[in-house]
């Protein structure tokens, strides 16, 4: 693939802007300045530098972001900054978007990608991709509340009781919920329907991906789409 096309596919601006970066000597491969926009490289696995910043080619982007509180999962936020502001410009410009949403006050693992097929696989209810939530409750968590969450609680937008795949106490006022579908404010509404109140919410895992302890709030890193298995 031509170097200019590689830069363009990775979100480094328009075709003209990418050619300009190369002409200005701002692109390097293996420490060598690339000044020919038509120079060809094997794109898969290629590591290059743009203005001194290393970048690895990814045909499709899949990002894990440790979402802090106070950010909206929206391209056009209304009351708080967008999570997109936490990403570098090339990722924003290539069109990554959140896979599902976390509320403004919810923290934890947020996936972002520009792969529409993967978004459908991960958000479609029929694929049952598990998501793990750590809940801090206002009142002590009781065995009865956990049983109701496992057996199913009624929500006003669901025709049948909504069940947690798992619900376990992790402390006097904390519990871990595993859900395989996504509804508006689902965790908070389920906890309320079970007889308690959600005071804080953190997503610790999405499918096979677990939020790394060394990924600080606001930080991101590449994820491997193979963690979710081959397309079905």
Delineate the domains of the chain, giving CATH numbers in brackets. Answer: 3-56 (3.10.290.10), 62-124+209-228 (3.30.70.580), 130-206 (3.30.70.1560)
Q: Are 107 and 68 in contact (CB under 8 A)?
A: yes
Span 143-169, average pLDDT:
92
CA 1/CA 98 separation, integer angstroms: 28
Can you give the C-alpha Rg of the chain in angstroms?
A: 21
Span 101-125, average pLDDT:
91
Widest CA span in the chain: 68
Strand partners, 169: 175
Place of tokens 């056009």: 76
Q: Which of 36, 103, 105, 168 is labelled catalytic?
A: 103
Q: Are 119 and 110 in contact (CB under 8 A)?
A: no
CA 26/CA 34 separation, integer angstroms: 8
pLDDT band of residue 158 (cuts 50, 70, 90) is confident
Asked if the model's pLDDT at residue 210 lies above 60, the reply is: yes
CA 108/CA 134 separation, integer angstroms: 9
Asked about 157 being catalytic, the answer comes back as: no
pLDDT at 92: 93
pTM for the full model?
0.90
């Amino acid at each position: 693939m031509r170097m200019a096309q590689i830069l363009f596919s990775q979100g480094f601006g328009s075709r003209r802007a990418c050619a300009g970066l190369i002409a200005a000597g701002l692109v390097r491969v293996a420490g060598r300045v690339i000044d020919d926009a038509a120079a060809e490289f094997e794109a898969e696995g290629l590591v290059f530098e743009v203005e001194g910043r290393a970048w690895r080619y990814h045909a499709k982007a899949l990002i894990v972001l440790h979402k802090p509180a106070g950010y909206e999962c929206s391209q056009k936020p209304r009351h708080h900054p967008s999570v997109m502001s936490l990403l570098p410009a090339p990722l924003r410009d290539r069109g990554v978007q959140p896979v599902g949403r976390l509320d403004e006050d919810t923290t934890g693992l947020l996936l972002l990608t520009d792969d529409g097929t993967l978004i459908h696989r991960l958000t479609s209810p029929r694929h049952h991709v598990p998501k793990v939530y750590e809940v801090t409750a206002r009142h002590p968590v009781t065995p009865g509340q956990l049983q109701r969450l496992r057996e199913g609680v009624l929500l006003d937008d669901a025709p049948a009781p909504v069940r947690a795949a798992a619900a376990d106490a992790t402390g006097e006022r904390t519990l871990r919920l595993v859900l395989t579908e996504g509804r508006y404010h689902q965790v908070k509404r389920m906890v309320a329907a079970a007889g308690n109140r959600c005071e804080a919410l953190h997503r610790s895992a999405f499918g096979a991906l677990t939020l790394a302890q060394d990924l600080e709030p606001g930080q991101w890193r590449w994820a491997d789409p193979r963690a979710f298995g081959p397309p079905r």
